[in-house]
Amino acid sequence: MAEIENKNPGKDITPEDLETKFPLAAKKHPEHVSKFTIAGIEFGGKGLPIMAGPNMVESRDLIFDVAENIKHCGSHFLRGGAFKPLTFPYRSPKYNETREDGIRWLGEAKERFGIPVITEVMEERYLPLVCEVADIIQIGSRNMQNYPFLTACARTGKPIMLKRHYGASLRDWLGAAEYILVEGNERVMLCERGVSAPHTHRATSRYLLDLQVVPAAKEITHLPVIVDPSHATFWAPWVRPMALAAIAAGADGLMIEVHPNPSQAAVDSLQPIDYRSFHSLASAASKLKSFLIAGEFG
């Protein structure tokens, strides 16, 4: 650990933590960076993996339309929740989770359009079903510290994206990642998606994108860090600037909510961007990443 100069590597992270609390998530030396491939896409390398799609897998037609269009626009993975951590238990028909059907439609869209899938699972009993389709398991913010569930997900051997709980410190986030790594599952990535904060700049914005956590995490861990500006800002016009800022901050990938008709989205209709905006963002994002890489290595 000697190479890490900071005596308190994180606000609440001590040098001992790197050796005793999360030795597998911690960097062994400053250049230690995890690189791995999922469905042919490299994470932690020079490229910029992008995951895009609707908040919810609303219907078969919607997910087919999105899969085809986002792939064309430069997305590497199709995202979409069939199992959703919805804040309130009441459902209008439009707001219904599509559950097993949604997972099946994701699988069909993956086959038809040749795009790999990332989707959230919230209960251990659905892991076998979700693993038939998902190339990456998404563990949502709300399950970040559900330790038996982290272990069960890790044991599937599937790559995992661990979203940060909106109240979690970097130390707690890395502790959760360690629960996955300790099972021998090495394809783990972190995802910053906004934290609770008193000042969020719009009445509808529930979270503040913590971009500072990107360099902070990368000082301490070798795991790739993905940024989701959609859930953080809850406001489509802010997605592009914050996505580009995330890349400048060192993010290894993006998760972006995209919907063909954002105002009609069944869930959180203020946050998705449309195909045109996504096309332009995906192209700007990869250009910015290449520009920064050229600066570092050129």
Q: Does 259 bind ligand PEP (CB under 6 A)?
A: no
The residue range among 32-40, 55-63, 112-120, 152-160 that interacts with Mn ion, by the rule CB under 5 A, is 55-63
- Residue 59: closest CA among 265, 228, 255: 265
Q: Does 279 bind ligand PEP (CB under 6 A)?
A: no
**What is the x/- site pattern for ligand PEP, positions 102-121, by CB under 6 A?**
------------------x-
CA atoms within 13 A on the CB side of 146: 15
CA atoms within 13 A on the CB side of 173: 30
Q: Which residue is nearest to Mn ion (CB)?
A: 55
- Phi and psi of 194, rounded to 5°? 100, 145
b/e burial code for range 171-205 (CB count within 10 A of at least 16 → b):
bebbbbbbbbbebebebbbbbbbbbeeeebeeeeb
Nearest distance from C-beta of residue 96 to Mn ion, angstroms: 15
| Continuous H helices in 196-274 | 213-220, 229-233, 239-248
Residue whose CB is less far from Mn ion, 55 or 200 = 55
Q: Does 231 bind ligand PEP (CB under 6 A)?
A: yes
Q: Does 138 bind Mn ion (CB under 5 A)?
A: no
**Residue ranges in 48-107 that form contacts with ligand PEP under rule CB under 6 A:** 55, 81, 85
Q: Does 55 bind Mn ion (CB under 5 A)?
A: yes
Q: Does 163 bind ligand PEP (CB under 6 A)?
A: yes
> End-to-end distance of the chain based on CA atoms, in angstroms?
29
Contact positions toward ligand PEP, by CB under 6 A? 55, 81, 85, 120, 140-141, 163, 193, 231
